[in-house]
Amino acid sequence: MSAADPDCLFCKIVAGEIPGDTVRETDRVLAFRDVNPQAPTHVLVVPKAHHENAAASAAADPDGFAELFTVAAAVARDEGLPGHRAVFNTGAAVGQTVFHTHLHVIGGRDLAWPPG
């Protein structure tokens, strides 16, 4: 696993140094509720290993990256969602604010397409 970044918010949540509202956990992945939810269900699924974005995680640990999606599907099932959106923001230009890979799992209301 990559070393945790001492300045990374999500590394601190993974380490238990900052509380997170955890909904699922595996050896490689943590899923917790977004503190500023954009829908009735808004869960962040993160690899425990620190990488700054989805592409970096996929390159470094393909199996761990795939597990983000199986955990996202389990979260959606647990929440009883009839459908959900799974999104990675990559880069500040499209709104990434935390530079530790995280898959947004959003559902529980109608979602417009294309996204804003």
Sorted by sequence, the CB contacts under 8 Å of residue 7 that are 6+ apart come out as none
Widest Cα–Cα separation across the chain: 39
30-34 CB contacts, 8 Å cutoff, 24+ apart: 31/71, 31/72, 31/75, 31/105, 34/104
- Comparison of 45 and 63: residue with beta carbon closer to ligand AMP: 45
- Comparison of 19 and 63: residue with beta carbon closer to ligand AMP: 19
Is 102 tagged catalytic? yes
For tokens 């509202």, what's the residue?
21
Which structure tokens are listed for 14?
Answer: 């993974």
Among residues 7, 36, 112, 113, the one that binds ligand AMP under rule CB under 6 A: 36
35 binds ligand AMP (CB under 6 A): yes
Residues 48-107 that bind ligand AMP (CB under 6 A): 89, 95-98
- Please report how close the Cβ of residue 77 comes to ligand AMP at its closest, in angstroms: 21
Number of residues that bind ligand AMP (CB under 6 A): 11
- Comparison of 9 and 58: residue with beta carbon closer to ligand AMP: 9
Among residues 14, 20, 68, 84, the one that binds ligand AMP under rule CB under 6 A: 20
Tell me the H-state helices in 16-89: 54-60, 62-78
Residue numbers annotated as active site: 102
